[in-house]
């Protein structure tokens, strides 16, 4: 069984020196409080991911490679709308890999950073460009950005 332990933070402003981003297009076939089924296309690769309910900062996660053309078909015909589009930057900081997502489309203006951990209580240093933690705020779950895109929030 795969487990994902993840902490999520707002990023008020991207750091100045960034690596080249990956473009991600992802959609949800099933968006339920107990489970999500996601299709994700990253540049020239694609994945089907099944995630269980989040408890604190942990949930079950299973991910499988699928053909890119299948992913594109699912994204354009079956996935819920809107499809999430974002550019992802991978940044190493003090021995940890941070992924920073700059959203576009209906979620433009939102920038989130995530760090995956081995245990919920694992210590790590925060980069200087990190803002408020939103790990337990469901509004910031990618699957919830479909029903309530960032551009629709009264006070982001």
Q: Which residues are catalytic?
A: 28
Bridge partners of 31? 36
Cβ density class 47-78: b for 16+ within 10 Å, e for less: bbbbbbebeebbbebeeeebeeeebeebbeee
Which helix (H) or strand (E) element contains residue 147? Answer: helix 144-147
Of 34, 19, 149, 21, residue with least CA distance to 93: 19
Nearest to 53 by CA among 67, 71, 36: 36
3-state secondary structure of 34: coil
């Amino acid at each position: 069984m795969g487990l994902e332990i993840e902490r999520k933070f707002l990023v008020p402003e991207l750091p100045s020196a960034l690596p080249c981003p990956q473009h991600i297009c992802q959609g949800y076939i099933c968006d339920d409080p107990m489970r999500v089924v996601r299709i994700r296309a990253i540049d020239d690769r694609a994945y089907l991911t099944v995630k269980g309910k989040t408890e604190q900062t942990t949930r079950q996660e299973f991910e499988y490679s699928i053909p890119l053309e299948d992913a594109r078909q699912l994204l354009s015909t079956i996935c819920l709308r809107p499809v999430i589009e974002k550019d992802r930057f991978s940044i190493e900081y003090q021995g940890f890999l941070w992924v920073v997502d700059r959203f576009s489309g209906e979620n433009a203006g939102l920038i989130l950073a995530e760090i995956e951990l081995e245990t919920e209580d694992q210590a790590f240093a925060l980069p200087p460009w990190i803002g408020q933690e939103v790990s337990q705020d469901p509004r910031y779950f990618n699957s919830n950005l479909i029903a309530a895109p960032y551009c629709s929030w009264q006070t982001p």
